């Protein structure tokens, strides 16, 4: 089968590789659609911290935002999974250690991540092997575009809920990428007054098209001080982020977090190594995924274009397709 392979910093090629086999407890999925994420870009450029700590290595097969159809079952997998359209969790924990059994899957010492770490092949390929415990069935009303948005949507939904806002409350979202816009959409659906802060006017056009009238750049934000920065301050110097509580209700889009923050959340008992997690992926696997499937019923115009596998290297290098729309997300159809 064809799969995208990263062979070194800035090097990505489509290779013919052996198709996956369904190990016991796993399924094989024919991938319908896969999203290109900022994490994939960091793996491509070599900036991903995991490449420097030994948690990830080249050659690497990326892709963790996906959907597809189950076409093969391993031993022990219930027969009803065959033929189902699915998406799945990125983080694969051992499910047996004390942390997993207490619901802290995200700090499992044996964590592997699809398309990211510990050599687990990703979804920028024609087929993907996935543990059945990581699967989530997709209803017929969720097409391929929405199906591949469930993973980032789960992160965004958890961020919106984590703000703890009640209807009528105000939320400031720093960043207008896929995660930021989805967070804003979920928060607005919950009755919040949402403000977005982008780096420049061009990044705010889609937010305004989606009906967010409170969309600012830092110099234009009423009362903001200083100039825009891609690195978030400890407390945003913006009155919109203030509330009656001691914690400002603010959420950051993925692209606004500097990569070193991945290693500032040490795992308990990680043998002295600070092998933390990216802030947006913290949380119990699957919980947000299950909730978000029913909330993406009306497709937001976040996906700018869908291209074939051969064009993925250019996308990772920052090239947008000529016919791309205004959305921040590029999808890949591995069957093209």
Q: What is the pLDDT of residue 288?
A: 53
**Domain check: are 171 and 89 in the same one?**
no
| 44 domain residue, yes or no | yes
226 and 295 part of one domain: no
Q: CA 1 to CA 174: how far, in whole Å? A: 40
Position 55 pLDDT exceeds 90: yes
> 110 and 39 in one domain?
yes
pLDDT band at 163 (very low <50, low <70, confident <90, very high): confident
Tell whether the torsion through CA atoms of 154, 329, 311 and 60 is positive or negative: negative
Are 32 and 120 contained in the same domain?
yes
Task: Give me the pLDDT at residue 230, please.
Answer: 32
137 forms bridges with which residues in the sheet?
86
pLDDT classification of 292: cutoffs 50, 70, 90: low
- Distance (Å, whole) CA 309 – CA 168: 44
Q: Which CATH number belongs to the domain containing residue 101 in this structure?
A: 3.90.180.10
Q: How sure is the predictor about 296, in pLDDT bands with cuts at 50, 70 and 90? A: low
What's residue 221's pLDDT?
65
CATH number assigned to the domain comprising residue 181: 3.40.50
Q: Is residue 226 part of a domain?
A: yes
Distance of alpha carbon 188 from alpha carbon 323, whole angstroms: 30
- Residue 133 to residues 1, 26, 27, Cα–Cα distance (Å): 25, 8, 10
Q: Are residues 50 and 78 in the same domain?
A: yes
The DSSP-derived string for 49-73 is: THHHHTSS-SSB----EEEEEEEEE
Domain boundary among 257, 284, 299: 257
> Looking at the domain assignment, is residue 329 inside a domain?
yes
Domain of residue 43 covers 2-149+268-333
Q: State the residue for tokens 């991540």.
A: 113
Q: Which residue has the higher pLDDT, 243 or 53?
A: 53
Instruction: State whether 82 and 113 are in the same domain.
Output: yes
Among 257, 279, 295, the domain-final residue is 257
Axis-axis angle for helices 178-189, 150-162 (nearest 10): 60
Does the pLDDT of residue 256 top 60, yes or no? no
pLDDT of res. 84: 98
Classified as helix, coil or strand, 313 is: helix
- Judge if 168 and 296 occupy the same domain: no
Question: Quick one: pLDDT band at residue 124, thresholds 50, 70, 90?
Answer: very high
Q: What is the mean pLDDT of residues 133-150?
A: 94
My answer on whether 9 and 135 are in the same domain is: yes
User: What is the band of 222 on the pLDDT scale with cuts at 50, 70, 90?
Assistant: low
Structure tokens at 326: 């205004």
User: How many domains does the structure of the chain reveal?
Assistant: 2
Compare 292 and 135 and report the one with higher pLDDT: 135
- Is 263 within the bounds of a domain? no
pLDDT greater than 80 at residue 321: yes
Query: Does one domain contain both 135 and 214?
Result: no
Structure confidence at residue 280 (pLDDT)? 34
Do 37 and 181 share a domain, yes or no? no
Position 200 scores a pLDDT of 85
For residue 154, report the phi and psi dihedrals to the nearest 5 degrees: -65, -40
Torsion of CA 295, 301, 304, 310, to 10 degrees: 30
Residue 314 lies in a domain: yes
The confidence score (pLDDT) of residue 238 equals 53
- Decide: 112 and 320 in contact? Cβ < 8 Å: no
Does position 123 have pLDDT exceeding 90, yes or no? yes
Is residue 262 domain-resident? no
Mean pLDDT of all residues belonging to the chain: 82
Q: Is residue 155 part of a domain?
A: no
In this prediction, residues 215-243 reach a mean pLDDT of: 51
Residue 159 lies in a domain: no
- Per-residue pLDDT, 274: 30
179 contacts 159 by C-beta, under 8 angstroms: yes
Clarify whether residues 92 and 215 are in a common domain.
no
Stated length of the chain: 336
Do residues 178 and 207 touch, judged by C-beta distance below 8 A?
no
The pairing of strands 329-333 and 303-308 is parallel
The model's pLDDT over 200-221, given as tens digits with 9 standing for 90+, comes to 888 899 999 999 999 988 766 6
Instruction: Give pLDDT, residue 281.
Output: 34
The b/e string for 15-45 (b: 16+ C-beta within 10 A; e otherwise) is eebeebebeeebbbbbbbbbbbbbbbbbbbe
Across the range 127-135, mean pLDDT stands at: 97
Is 180:173 a contact under the CB 8 Å cutoff? yes
pTM of the model: 0.81
Domain boundary pick from 235, 257, 279: 257
User: Is the domain of 251 the same as that of 274?
Assistant: no
């Amino acid at each position: 089968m064809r799969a995208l392979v990263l062979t070194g910093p800035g090097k990505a090629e489509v290779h013919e590789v052996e198709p996956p086999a369904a190990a016991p407890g796993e399924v094989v999925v024919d991938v319908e659609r896969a999203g290109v994420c900022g994490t994939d870009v960091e793996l491509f450029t070599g900036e991903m911290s995991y490449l420097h700590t030994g948690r990830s290595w080249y050659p690497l097969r990326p892709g963790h935002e996906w959907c597809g159809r189950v076409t093969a079952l391993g031993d022990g997998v219930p027969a009803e999974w065959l033929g189902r359209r699915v998406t799945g969790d990125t983080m694969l924990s051992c499910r047996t250690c004390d942390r997993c059994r207490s619901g802290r899957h995200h700090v499992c010492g044996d964590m592997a991540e699809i398309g990211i770490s510990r050599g687990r092949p990703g979804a920028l390929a024609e087929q993907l092997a996935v543990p059945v415990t990581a699967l989530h069935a997709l209803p017929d009303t969720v097409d391929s575009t929405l199906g591949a948005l469930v993973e980032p949507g789960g992160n965004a939904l958890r961020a919106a809920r984590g703000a703890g806002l009640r209807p009528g409350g105000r939320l400031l979202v720093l960043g207008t990428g896929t995660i930021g816009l989805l967070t804003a959409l979920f928060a607005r659906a919950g009755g919040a007054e949402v403000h977005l802060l982008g780096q420049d006017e061009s990044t705010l056009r889609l937010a305004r098209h989606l009906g967010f009238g409170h969309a600012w750049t830092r110099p234009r934000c009423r009362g903001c001080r200083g100039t825009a920065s891609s690195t978030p301050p400890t407390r945003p110097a913006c009155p919109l982020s203030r509330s009656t509580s001691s914690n400002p209700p603010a959420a950051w889009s993925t692209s606004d977090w500097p990569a070193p923050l991945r290693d500032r959340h040490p795992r308990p008992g990680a043998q002295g190594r600070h092998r933390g997690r990216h802030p947006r992926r913290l949380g119990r696997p699957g919980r947000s995924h299950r909730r978000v499937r029913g909330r993406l019923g009306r497709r937001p115009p976040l996906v700018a274009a869908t291209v074939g596998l051969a064009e993925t290297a250019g996308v990772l290098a920052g090239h947008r397709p000529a016919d791309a729309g205004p959305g921040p997300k590029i999808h890949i159809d591995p069957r093209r």
